[in-house]
Amino acid sequence: MNERFDAIVMGGGPAGLTAAIYLARARLKTLVVDNATIGGQTNLTHEVANYPGVLNVSGAGLARIMKSQATSFGARIIGHADIIDFDLSGPEKRIEIDDEGVFTAPVVVLATGGVPRTLGLESESRFKGRGISYCATCDGDFFTGKEIVVIGGGNSALEEAVSLTKYATKVTIVHEFDHFQAHPWAVEEARKNPAISFMMNQRVDGFAGGEKLEGVITTDKTTGATVTIPAEGAFLFIGYTPNTAWLKGQVTLNERGEIPVDESLATNIPGVFAAGDARVKRYRQITTAVADGTIAALAAADYLARNQIQA
C-alpha cells in the first residue's frame, strides 16, 4: 500500500498529537506514526495537576483526549509501528511501515520525544510512579510535608532540589562525586537553603519499601559504608536522552542528540520541523510540548501554502 499525505507526524506524544490536531483541523491530510503506545511519556504520569483548564486527569486520560481530538479532525494514527525504512531528504519525505505500507509527504514534524536517564536498577523500575519521579514540576506537590531525596549533581538537580523545598520538609541531595557539575550560583543557592542536606561521593545501590518508597540505599565510595536514607520520594536528575538516535544522518543533531531548530521549529532540512522533547530546549513539560506542536504545525502549514503543495 502506498499513500501520500500532506504531513506526517513522527511521534504520538503531546507535541505530536497537538501538531496533528492543528494540521488535520486545517484540512491537511495528516498521518501520525509512533513506534510505541500513543501518548508517549504522558501515559506514565499518574496524575496531571498543572495542565491549564483540566482538573483531576491522569496522563493516560489526557493523552486519550488529545488522540480523540486528532482523529475527530481526520488524522490517521498508527501506534506500535514497525518502521523499517525512512528518508527525509528531497521534497517528498518517505516512511515505510511493516504490514502498513509506504507513506510519503512533503512535510514531516519530528516529535519523537525522549526519556529521562535512569540508574537501571530493578528497584528503580519497581518504585517508578510509587515514590520515584523524574519531574519536580509534575510531582513535587505530592510530597508536601515529606522527606525526599534528589539524585544528581548538575544544574537541574540543584535547581529542582531548591524548588522542592517548597513542598518537602527535608531534601537530601545524593551525588556520586565529591564535587558538583553545576554552575557556582546553583551550588551556592542549594547550600544556603536550610532544608537541604548533602551526601557526596555516594553510589546509589537501590530503593527500599513495600507498596511505596520508604528509603534510598547508598554506599560511600570512599569508606564503603552503606546506609538507607529515609525518604518517601526520590527525584532523579541525571540527564535526559532524546529519542533521536535513529535520525542520525537524516537531520542535524547536537552533541546531546537534540535537534536544533529555528524560531519556527524548522530543522536544517526544508519541510522538516521538530517539536517537543526531542528538540533543543530547556524546559520539558506537557505544556511546552503542546506549544511546540502548535508552532510546528502552523509553520508546516505555512510551508505547504508558500510552496503550493497539498495532497
pLDDT digits (tens, 9 = 90+) for 36-66: 899 988 886 767 878 999 888 888 899 999 9
Active site residue 6: no
Annotation says 82 is catalytic: no
Q: Say what the pLDDT of residue 214 is.
A: 97
Q: Please report the pLDDT score of residue 297 as a whole number.
A: 98
- Full-model pTM: 0.76
Sign of CA dihedral 84, 92, 29, 284: positive
- Measure the CA angle with vertex 258, ends 254 and 260; round to 5°: 70
Domains of the chain: 2-115+240-306 (3.50.50.60), 118-236 (3.50.50.60)
Looking at residue 55, its pLDDT comes to: 84
Helix, strand, coil share (%) of the chain residues, nearest 5: 30, 30, 40
| pLDDT for position 263 | 96
**Number of other residues whose CB lies within 10 A of the CB of residue 97:** 19
Residue 139: active-site member:
yes
pLDDT at 136: 86
Q: Which of 34, 85, 87, 139 is catalytic?
A: 139
In the prediction, which pLDDT does 46 show? Answer: 65
Q: Which of 138, 141, 178, 220 is catalytic?
A: 138
Q: Show the low-confidence residues of the chain (pLDDT under 70).
A: 44, 46, 309-311
Q: Which pLDDT score is estimated for 56?
A: 80
With beta carbons less than 8 A apart as the criterion, state whether 116 and 233 touch.
Answer: no
- Given this model, what pLDDT does residue 311 score? 55
| CA distances from residue 287 to 108, 258, 293 in whole angstroms, order as listed | 21, 19, 10
Catalytic residue among 6, 87, 99, 135: 135
User: What is the pLDDT at residue 213?
Assistant: 96
